[in-house]
A and B are shown apart, each in its own frame.
Chain A
Amino acid sequence: QIQLVQSGAEVKKPGASVKVSCKASGYTFTTFGITWVRQAPGQGLEWMGWISAYNGNSNYAQKLQDRVTMTTDTSTNTAYMELRSLRSDDTAVYYCARVNGAVSAANYWGQGTLVTVSS
């Protein structure tokens, strides 16, 4: 069955970086893309960006594009999201999800990774 399994919770200090992983299984990794969505405590869903697992093309939300990098490792079927210069308002659950393309609905989701930014 199709699964996306994310790395565990992280606690970071302001100004630090975090890298969240998302390991895919049950499908041909390079046929689809991965999108990242975050959700601050008690808030709605925020689209962060997308990366093609086929060719590495990516597209980031404008407000994050200076601080975020999304990558994939096709040898391990794993996607990564790195967020730099962390601030307290980056505290959120970060989700990866499988998508057909850059602008697409997400039909399979990871379990989420809580990133807490606190001094």
Chain B
Amino acid sequence: EIVLTQSPGTLSLSPGERATLSCRASQSVGSYLAWYQQKPGQAPRLLIYGASGRAPGIPDRFSGSGSGTDFTLTIDRLEPEDFAVYYCQQYGSSPPDFGPGTKVDIK
């Protein structure tokens, strides 16, 4: 099984700042990496698929990059609604497990 590690565990930032979240896989997943946003009491929402493709309706301040084992989610100019938990998920092989998450909270 492929294990995903996310860092940092918590990221404390102010609105308007840039957030950089990391996801590392224990072995290559190619570009089969997705990012999700989850707010309290809500279902996850797909942000990024294929490592860098934005899902429909996702603002362009969200961008994904990377391939193989190292991936990054960047959120430019944090908006108040962006403070949430972010999960990566690999779907290069079964089981398509999730990382432990990064919480982005208000500084």
Contacts and interface: CB of A to CB of B under 8 A. Distances in A.
Given A103-B91, A105-B89, A45 B49 contact: no
A111 interface: yes
Contact of A45 (B87, B91, B94): B87
Q: How large is the interface on A (under 10, 10 to 19, 20 to 34, 35 or more residues)?
A: 20 to 34
B101 to A, nearest CB: 5
Q: How large is the interface on B (under 10, 10 to 19, 20 to 34, 35 or more residues)?
A: 20 to 34
B45 A109 contact: yes
Interface string B34-63: 101010000111100110000100000000
Nearest to B41: A112
A109 B43 contact: yes
Interface of B: 32, 34, 36, 38, 43-46, 49-50, 55, 87, 89, 91-101
Given A97-B43, A106-B46, A109-B43, 4 more contacts: A44-B87, A47-B89, A97-B44, A104-B96
